[in-house]
Amino acid sequence: MAFSRISHKGRGEVRIYESTHDLSTNLAEYIAEISEASVKERGVFCVALSGGSLISMMSKLRDTPYSRTVDWARWHIFWTDERLVSKSHSDSNYKLAKDVLFSKIPVYPSYIHSINVTVSAEEAANRYEYAIRQLVRKGTVGASRISDCPKFDLILLGMGPDGHVASLFPLHRALNEKNEWVTFLTDSPDPPSQRITFTLPSG
Ligand SMILES: O=C(O)[C@H](O)[C@@H](O)[C@H](O)[C@H](O)COP(=O)(O)O
């Protein structure tokens, strides 16, 4: 499968695939490899998802060999960002991942760490950060060695046409948040306006 690889002096690499088919095939393989390595090293795999087309690109994980070989019972699923809409709304990142993936694979319901969307955006962000802090304390989610930030085994992010990742939009005040791990927006440039999002790492 042809792809171009661009390395960045030990800071990771960019892989460019010729088709979405090639990209999704390689994405499934990549996720399965990281899941296996994380389970071997830490006993769990903590993955944070966003929204957009990325989630449907993960659909190959439902098929063989992954349906049989991935240790789904060790997966903890998080969201980098969520829109404050009901969990059955078409804008919900939770619904997107549920429909495409975790309604079809045997993950533990209690390991699906979704956002409470029945409270204000600020409260939802506070509660999500609190939940993650508990899981860092228990050692389920790893912690950075240079700061107290959580260190997920894998964070999967799409990028919007304006360059936004998660719900971190260019020039938005959420980009300057240095203390909170999770913050909220009530004025997202893209609808829906109310969202919560992971912040940028401080360390
Ligand atoms: O909440 C959002 O603003 C979007 O879901 C965002 O997080 C998404 O990842 C990008 O917009 C890329 O989306 P596409 O992959 O569909 O282009």
Atom in ligand 1 nearest the alpha carbon of residue 54: 15
Task: Name the band, by pLDDT with cuts 50, 70 and 90, for residue 203.
Answer: low
Average per-residue pLDDT in the chain? 95
Ligand 1 pocket member 54 (CB < 6 A): yes
pLDDT tens sequence across 16-60: 999 999 999 999 999 999 999 999 999 999 999 999 999 999 999
Tell me what pLDDT residue 176 has: 95
The residue whose C-alpha atom lies closest to atom 11 belonging to ligand 1 is: 160
pLDDT tens sequence across 168-191: 999 999 999 999 999 999 999 999
Span of 102-111, 145-154, 182-191 with lowest mean pLDDT: 145-154
Task: Give the pair of three-digit tokens for residue 70.
Answer: 């991935």
Tell me what pLDDT residue 11 has: 80
The residue whose C-alpha atom lies closest to atom 8 belonging to ligand 1 is: 52
Tell me what pLDDT residue 1 has: 57
Tell me what pLDDT residue 180 has: 96
Residue 137 CA to ligand 1 center (angstroms) comes to 31
In the CATH scheme, what is the code of domain 3-198?
3.40.50.1360
DSSP code, position 139 = T
Ligand 1 pocket member 192 (CB < 6 A): no
Ligand 1 pocket member 185 (CB < 6 A): no
The residue whose C-alpha atom lies closest to atom 3 belonging to ligand 1 is: 167
Separation CA 84–CA 81 (nearest Å): 10
Task: Name the band, by pLDDT with cuts 50, 70 and 90, for residue 2.
Answer: low
Ligand 1 pocket member 53 (CB < 6 A): yes
Other beta carbons within 10 Å of 79: 25
pLDDT tens sequence across 139-149: 999 998 888 89
Alpha helices (runs of H) in 109-171, residue ranges in sequence order:
121-138
Residue 42 CA to ligand 1 center (angstroms) comes to 30
Using CA atoms, how far residue 159 sits from 8, 116, 163, in Å, is 19, 24, 6
Separation CA 138–CA 147 (nearest Å): 17
Average confidence (pLDDT) over 108-126: 98
Q: Where are the domains of the chain?
A: 3-198
Size of the chain, expressed as the number of residues it contains: 203
